[in-house]
Structure 1
Amino acid sequence: MLQDRARRPPLPVIVPTLERTTVARTPPLTSRERYRRRISPRPRSVVVQPDGFCNVACSYCYLPGKDRRTPMTSDVAEAIARSIREIATVDAPMDLVWHAGEPLALGTSRLSELTDPFESLRHEGLLHHYVQTNGTLVSDRWCEFFAEREVRVGVSIDGPAEFNTERVDRRGKPVFDRTLRGIARLRRHGIGFSTIAVVTVDSIGRPEDLLDFFAELGCHTVGINIEEREGANAHRPVPMFEAAAEFWNRAIAWTRSNPGLTVREIDRLGAYLRSLRGGDGWQSVRIDPIPTVSSIGDVVLLSPELAGVQSPEYHDFQAGNVLQLTIRDMLANAHRLRYVDEFLTGLDACEATCEYFGFCRGAQAGNRFFENGRFDSTETNHCRVSRQALLTALSDTVRAETAS
């Protein structure tokens, strides 16, 4: 099991150069070699922002441009489709995730036009559509659209009504009841759905109430996003390690008594443990570059939360624009991007210094930037509460059962 560790996590480590850890007489890896060692050559997912606008105004939202209408044009959608044809295969179809802002705010006719260029890819088994929605706009027509285009649906909802106080419309009115009505329509049409819940300092002490709600809601999976400081959400209080470890400890206990609901993070932990027993290569897992395409075709890599964020130092994190370059060409040159290269240095530092690296594979790029101000740092609060606390909770559970 894990070594005992202090409950007070260490501060981030900054590693300005890779040479410090280079073994004597071993030539340092080139930037391309470092990239290939850590990052998957082919993305599993492409995130598409059909419009940055959102019809609700969640207080913890990270999106910088959610108040502006910036609808995607058909030529951008066609360019994305051409890019995906270059990299998708029947054995490894692409997950195309319509996300960021509220995709349903475009209306069914407009989103139908944007998904038309992908129809041949879908029929050939090269692509799966996903949509992440706040659920408030789900109608019977949207349900028909989801069925026609085989769209897999994720709904953002934070648990029972008292956990959803941060999810309000632009007049400050709660959207909880409207989200429930949308979910009821999905269920009437027989459309399965997953959920994502943001856990705040107000809800992290009640994991059983949270999970009981989702078990009754009818979703097949719930993803737990412990609130993060990122993007436009820079000043709200967020949960810390101790509270997160207790949350995960009780959540693990809940899942053992309630096997019908999949909790995404605990399921991922189970996959990791099975890989250790089976020796099937978790250690060789490489990071998905997750190309994220804005409504005007600009692409950022590694973290969708970087899309739309202005940073002259990193050229706004842009890898290119799909109207000029294919995603495959952008990925071939991704190692030249300053923020990608710094992120690789941070991953090397994580592997050298963190006992949790085998499981988490390194803190997320966006969290490094938003929390630590740079990419070549190591720990973030996000990795402490979502990875370290989870593994610590499992260790505590096993230790308690062994002692009893």
Structure 2
Amino acid sequence: MACPPTSDPRARYLRWISDRPRQVVLQPTTFCNLDCSYCYLPGRAVKNAMPVEVAAAVARSVTELTDASGPPVRIIWHAGEPLTLGRVRFAELLAPFESLRAEGRVQHAVQTNATLIDDRWCDLLAVHGVRVGVSVDGPRVLNARRVDRAGRAAFDRILRGIGALREYGLPFSVISVVSRESLHAPEALLDHLTALGCRSIGLNIEEYEGVNTGRAVPDLGDAVDFWARVLTWSHHRPDAPPVRELDRLGSYLRMTRDGTRPQWEDARHDPIPTVTANGDVVLLSPELADTRTSAYDDFRAGNILRQPLAAILADAHRLRYVTEFLTGLDNCRTSCDFFDFCRGSQAGNRYFEHGTFTATETAYCRSTEQALVIAAADTTRKDTTA
């Protein structure tokens, strides 16, 4: 569906990006107890912790942006290893949101490497209704690049944390970074993740992001083969946990079939406000947080201690990187055959690969959006001609 042109900067912004976030990412700490070789976080060795005042300011902002009749805003604790704060401090950060959570206006989620999870952490997460996402890259051989600062493998500690979640009965999802090694072993990867007892699987093919710029990304042919094998595995494992990327493609195809695809095409990008440990707010991509560049004023849209989110979002159309991203979306819409499905994809990848947001195709586009569609089309074609 073509978007009508407009000369009004705010109207142009709202044509592409929602005025209300569906999720807000909070960085409780910049520090991570692991030192994975592909990590994109530039400050993961620094122990900056979010003051309670920042969390309270976010809670006040979310109060202004939501009401009890609408869907809850997801508060995602991420962009470092949140559990390194310790239970007492993490509980203090959760406390300002409790009345909102009780009213059904927020839903907490945490992305963790699980190495610190024990029964006491499970108690805290359960009490606050925190949904858990675990970062794990598959069986031991495929998880080898998840190491601590002494270079020791984290695999056994991750499994111990997952075991605590399972014994407690706390559901969890998993996200795996797909390296060049696991790209050629999707069945082993998926079999292992399924055996962990997770409720869903997300597959992030390694990409240029943040300070992770030294590894070669897969070519399109390898990515197509990977997704084709994932599709085949999923077809033969109907009781396995859903794969996030396949679910997204399935939603698009179902909406195309039943005539509701305009809802997909009209859906606007989430501004994804990311609040860093010191209260600075970055928009469009959590991966931009803590990235230093004078050209974009470090991507700061404001600071939550000085401005509420509503005011920061109201001025978002004035930010250089945001306006560049809008141009990039226009460029994608007019030049890419896959745009109807991907809707312009990720802002951060454009910057980290091209140094600008007006660029179009990225390695992420090829390996996760285009390759998935091509694999599905090829798989369907084989099924119908067999």
Q: TM-score range by the shorter chain?
A: over 0.9
**Counterpart Cα distance in 1 of 2:66 and 2:112:** 25
What amino acid sits opposite 2:244 in the alignment? R
Alignment partner, residue 226 of structure 2: 247
Aligned partner of 2:383 in structure 1 is: 401
**Shift in Å, 1:250:** 0.7
| Residue 145 (structure 1) aligned with residue 147 (structure 2) | no
In structure 2, distance between residues paired with 1:118 and 1:31: 33
- Residues 28 and 119 of structure 1, relative CA distance in 2, 3 Å threshold: closer
Mapped pair 1:233 → 2:212: yes
The answer to whether structure 1 residue 310 and structure 2 residue 292 are counterparts is: yes
Distance 1:104 1:227 in 2: 24
The one-letter code matched in structure 2 to 1:358 is D
Report the alpha carbon displacement of residue 34 of structure 1 after superposing the two structures with TM.
Answer: 1.2
Q: Is the 8 A contact 1:74 1:113 kept in 2?
A: yes
Q: TM-score, normalised by structure 2?
A: 0.97
Contact 1:363 1:379 in 2 (8 A): no
In structure 1, the residue matched to 2:177 is 198
Whether 1:320 aligns to 2:302 is yes
Letter in 1 for 2:318: R
Residue deviations 1:179-232 (CA, integer Å, cap 9, x gap): 000000000100000000000111101111111111111001010000011111
Aligned mate of 1:215, from 181, 194, 200: 194
Q: CA deviation at 1:28?
A: 4.1
Percent identity of the aligned residues? 54
* Residues in 2 aligned to 1:258 and 1:217: alpha-carbon distance in whole angstroms: 15
Partner of 1:276: 256
What per-residue deviation string (whole Å, max 9, x for no partner) do you get for residues 10-32 of structure 1? xxxxxxxxxxxx99xx9743211
Partner in structure 2 of residue 342 of structure 1 = 324
Q: Secondary structure at the match of 1:72?
A: coil
What residue identity is the alignment partner of 1:76?
Answer: V
Instruction: Give the Cα–Cα distance (whole angstroms) in 2 for the partners of residues 189 and 135 of structure 1.
Output: 14
Give runs of aligned pairs for residues 84-95 of structure 1, distance below 5 A: 84-90=62-68, 91-95=70-74
Whether the aligned pair in 2 keeps the contact of 1:342 and 1:375 (CA below 8 Å) is yes
2:137 aligned residue (150, 158, 178): 158
Structure 1 counterpart of 2:24: 46
Pairwise CA distance, 1:278: 2.0
Give the whole-Å Cα distance in 2 for the aligned partners of 1:88 and 1:240: 43
Counterpart in the other structure of 1:352: 334
Residue among 382, 386, 396 paired with 2:368: 386
Deviation at 1:88, TM superposition (A): 2.1
**Which residue matches 1:331?**
313
- Determine if contact 1:78/1:117 at 8 Å carries over to the other structure: yes
Equivalent residue, structure 2, for 1:7: none
Letter in 2 for 1:207: P
The 3-state SS of whatever aligns with 2:379 is helix
The code of the aligned residue for 1:149 comes to H
Measured in 1, the distance between the counterparts of 2:336 and 2:376 equals: 17
Is the Cα contact below 8 Å between 1:363 and 1:378 reproduced in 2?
Answer: no
Once the 2 structures are TM-superposed, how far is the Cα of residue 359 of structure 1 from its aligned partner?
A: 0.4
Tell me the residue number matched to 2:357: 375
Unaligned runs of 5+ in 1: 1-21
**What do the CA deviations read for 1:315-359 (whole angstroms, capped 9, x no partner)?**
111110000111111111100000000000000010001010000
CA separation in 2, counterparts of 1:33 and 1:294?
28
1:71 and 2:49 are equivalent in the alignment: yes
**Root mean square deviation, CA, Å:** 1.3
Secondary structure at the aligned position of 1:203 is classed as: helix
State the alpha-carbon separation in 2 of the partners of residues 180 and 132 from structure 1: 15
**Partner SS, residue 183 of structure 2:** coil
Give, in whole Å, the separation in 1 of the partners of 2:312 and 2:47. Answer: 27
Secondary structure, aligned partner of 1:248: helix
Query: Do 2:6 and 2:12's aligned partners in 1 also have CA atoms closer than 8 Å?
Result: no
**Aligned equivalent of 1:13:** none
Unaligned runs of 5+ in 2: none
What does residue 160 of structure 2 align with? 181
| Contact map agreement 1:310 1:316 (CA 8 A) in 2 | yes
Number of equivalent positions: 381
285-294 vs 237-246, which moves further: 237-246
Shift of 1:363: 3.1
CA distance in structure 2 between the partners assigned to 1:27 and 1:286 by the alignment: 16
**1:60 maps to 2:27:** no
How far 1:287 moved relative to its partner? Answer: 0.5
Helix, strand or coil at the partner of 1:262? coil
**Aligned counterparts of 1:98 and 1:323: Cα–Cα separation in 2:** 18
Q: Secondary structure at the match of 2:224?
A: helix
Write the deviation string for residues 237-294 of structure 1: whole angstroms up to 9, x where unpaired.
2222111100000100111111221100001100111111122211111111100000
1:33-90: CA deviation from partner (whole Å, max 9, x where unpaired):
1111100111110000000000000000000100001011111111010011111233
Picking from 288, 291, 300, the partner of 2:282 is: 300
